[in-house]
Structure 1
Amino acid sequence: MNDFIQACIDANEEIAKAFEKGFDTSWYEKTEVGAGGDVSSRLDLFAEEVFFKHLSSFGEIESEESGIMGEGEIKIIIDPIDGSSNALSLFPYYGTSVARVNEEGILDAAVVCNLANGDLFIKSENEAVLQGKLFSNNFHARHTSSASEIGLFEKAYAHPLLVAALDKAGLKFRAPGAIALSLAYAHTVEYVLFVGMFRIYDFAAGLALCEGLEVIVEQDYVIVSKDKSVLEKIEAIVSALEDE
């Protein structure tokens, strides 16, 4: 485990330990619109502070909350809390997302953590994605499923016509509300679909974990699947609705 990956793990473990004590009432307070365009909560800012403490020595940090922080040739892109609305509602599907881009502009490391259950996904340059748990030094090849029955459709609530079209096509889905986590689980579900504005904070780390899968990235939608025919079927549905 290299120093950067270990620092990411250490940050996640510090945040997870804080969560074990219960959510501080101050974390629910809303502050101002962050760099990513959403209103930041004190929870987001708490997690951002922890990541800055652990990662600032490695390079410049670009956070969804505060934008550019620190300096350095290496860029570290973070979403301090992926699915913060879930977290503040105590719905167990929320985590963190970290991606590192080296001096040549190549994304060479990514860490996504599900703080709700401790699932941890790591990707280092030229190495396969590994999966493990927080507070454990045991990592293994990521889990996969050859009999996936559902996909994950992020921001489904904003696209009722697409929801109806997927249902008509027999493409079941859930809409859990944390895109980096959903991409981290892309090997175990039938597909992952996101329709909306592409923001680097949401996708940098998650897409790095999707190696070996079929991936389409457009300005206003992202589709990932193990099955090329499923990918093409969904793309045709999305394109048809855009043309109407």
Structure 2
Amino acid sequence: MDAFIEACFKAAIEVEAFIRSTEHHYGCEPQTEGAGGDLSINYDLLAEEIFVKHLSSFGKILSEESGSIGEGKDLIIIDPVDGSDNLMSEFPYYGTSIALKRDNRTVAGIVCNFANGDCFVRTENEHYRRSLFREDEREDVHANIHAKVGLFEKPGLHPDAARTLMDTGFKFRSPGAVALSLAYAHSALYMVFVGPMRLYDVEAGLYLCEDLYTYRSKDILIVSHNKDVFAKILTIFNLSEASE
């Protein structure tokens, strides 16, 4: 596992350096529709090449851009650039998402924010946050009991719930990168995502949130470290605690 995590960081560091050094207009040029259904840009495709170079020896890769790549017993699910629209808009909330599945079970998740270097890692034995740029900056992940705001991805798909959350006093932000928002869920009061649940978007992030209260259906995901907040948000969405 250590070798896999090390390879993920080598790839992430190379991708971040590539994004930082590449002419923005070139990196943002659209190319083709990716396997996940979104339009791939040069940043997406060239970042994918870097991840494949570093990770293909560890198993079969399932990427948002090109779909299935290579062979292997283990499955590596990647979103090479999570938050491509943010990157194109020069909004500092974009990164990468990597999940390792073994025997149909997720055993490692890594999500990095290229804009500030925050990286979140979870394996069967540890869960920590470290810097992409300074390896010595590392700390265990804990719930932030002082959190005042939640994260709501795609609130426009549930305007009534968004209004009720605000009327109830549940403030939220909508930064636009699902894997990153799941990675930051321990720091936020709650995290909500409305929309199709693609593996590239949620596999690594959900593994990072394994210790939190979680509801997941085919089109709604709710996560919180606060049991009472979690129950209230379920009520706002007219949901029961038993996920589908």
Which category describes the TM-score, using the shorter chain as reference length? over 0.9
3-state SS in 2 of match to 1:17: helix
1:33 & 1:221 partners in 2: Cα distance?
A: 25
Q: How does 1:227-238 map to 2 (within 5 A)?
A: 227-238=226-237
Structure 1, 73-82 or 204-213: larger mean CA deviation: 204-213
3-state SS in 1 of match to 2:99: strand
Q: How does 1:77-116 map to 2 (within 5 A)?
A: 77-102=77-102, 104-116=103-115
1:132 aligns to what?
Answer: 130
* Residues 180 and 202, structure 1, Cα contact 8 Å, conserved in 2: yes
Query: Is 1:9 matched with 2:13?
Result: no
Deviations 1:72-111 (A, max 9, x none): 1110000011101001111000000000001x21111111
1:24 & 1:65 partners in 2: Cα distance?
A: 19
Q: CA RMSD in A?
A: 1.4
1:142 aligns to what?
Answer: 141
- The letter for the 2-side match of 1:32 is T
1:203 aligns to what?
Answer: 202
* TM-score normalised by the chain length of structure 2: 0.93
1:84 & 1:17 partners in 2: Cα distance?
A: 16
2:23 & 2:144 partners in 1: Cα distance?
A: 34
Unaligned runs of 5+ in 1: none
1:53 aligns to what?
Answer: 53
1:40 aligns to what?
Answer: 40
2:173 aligns to what?
Answer: 174
1:202 & 1:147 partners in 2: Cα distance?
A: 27
2:113 & 2:62 partners in 1: Cα distance?
A: 21
2:211 & 2:140 partners in 1: Cα distance?
A: 13
**CA-CA distance at 1:143 after TM superposition:** 5.0
2:131 & 2:226 partners in 1: Cα distance?
A: 28
* Residues 101 and 107, structure 1, Cα contact 8 Å, conserved in 2: yes
Deviations 1:195-239 (A, max 9, x none): 111111100000111132111111110000011121121112112
* Residues 120 and 183, structure 2, Cα contact 8 Å, conserved in 1: yes
* Residues 190 and 224, structure 2, Cα contact 8 Å, conserved in 1: yes
* TM-score normalised by the chain length of structure 1: 0.93
Structure 1, 75-84 or 162-171: larger mean CA deviation: 162-171
3-state SS in 2 of match to 1:81: strand
- The letter for the 1-side match of 2:214 is V
Unaligned runs of 5+ in 2: 240-244
2:72 aligns to what?
Answer: 72
1:68 & 1:19 partners in 2: Cα distance?
A: 24
- The letter for the 2-side match of 1:229 is D
